[in-house]
Amino acid sequence: MTDDKPNLSDVLARAQRARSPSAADAERVRRAIGAALAGGAGTGDATGTRATSPPAGWASRILLVGAITGASAGVGYWAGHRAGLHAAEPRRLAGYWSPALDTTGEMKLPAVATAASDQTGTPPFASLPLVTSHRDAARNPRRVAETQAPSTTESLAIEVRALRNAERALRDGNPGLALAFLQELDRQVPNGKLAEERDAAATTARCARGDHPFGVDMAEEFAQRHPASVYRARVEQACAPTDSPATGDSLPRRSE
């Protein structure tokens, strides 16, 4: 401890202060929950287990529900196609969406919300469905699709799905594919709700690929665009300068 004689209550009070979330934490998670619920994630089985509960996270979670899933699979297919990877690596791309829906090879672009419909911000939790079972959605996706608001819900679902795909591609060391997903997302939903997340993922992918203009500090520019972003550290880490052969520095060759 930094104090000479820390007492129990002081330590506990300090610890509680440091362990409490910030307003930004609360808002970030709230937005992610709103996105997940809009995609149907809050409507499933109540066991709380990973096997039956939906995946979650700003880029890693959206429930694969009925027609939304089918439509998003089309987005993934289209993105992969545009990236020129479909013909070369069909098996690799297949991992980026539901295996049950990627077998037709047909291009099924979803009916995407217009930009104008996407300006309302994250819907309040109270406006989201509370009791619809995702089992019902799985049984009858068409019926569910008809009952959901197509514009906001679907565009948000597409956004989250694309971000999840981009994140997976980044984790797999494929920033080019991540950018392809993000570019397709920009085309499909130009003014989405998750603009900051998109920007963070795109900047990270560009830095990972070394795709940035000479003398431009991508992380700095990201910080200027989003001064309070919680993704700053992540972006800075991805964009941190590294020695490369082009800099003129060279590591001593290891004698073998």
Binding mask 71-110 for another protein (x = CB under 8 A): ----------------------------------------
H or E, element range at 66: helix 66-82
Look at the block and give the residue holding tokens 């995407």: 112
Q: Does 255 bind another protein (CB under 8 A)?
A: no
Q: Does 240 bind another protein (CB under 8 A)?
A: no
Q: Does 61 bind another protein (CB under 8 A)?
A: yes
Look at the block and give the residue holding tokens 């309302």: 120
Closest distance to another protein from the beta carbon of 183 (Å): 18
Look at the block and give the residue holding tokens 């939906």: 54
Length of the chain: 256
Give the Cα separation of 152 and 38 in Å (integer): 8
Among 38, 59, 64, 239, binds another protein (CB under 8 A): 59
Closest CA to 26 of 125, 117, 119: 125
Q: Does 136 bind another protein (CB under 8 A)?
A: no
Half-sphere exposure for 180 (CA within 13 Å, toward CB): 20
Where do contacts with another protein occur on this chain (CB under 8 A)?
A: 1-6, 8, 10-12, 14-26, 28-30, 32-33, 36-37, 41-54, 56-61, 124-126, 128, 130-131, 167, 170-171, 200-201, 204, 230-231, 233-234, 237
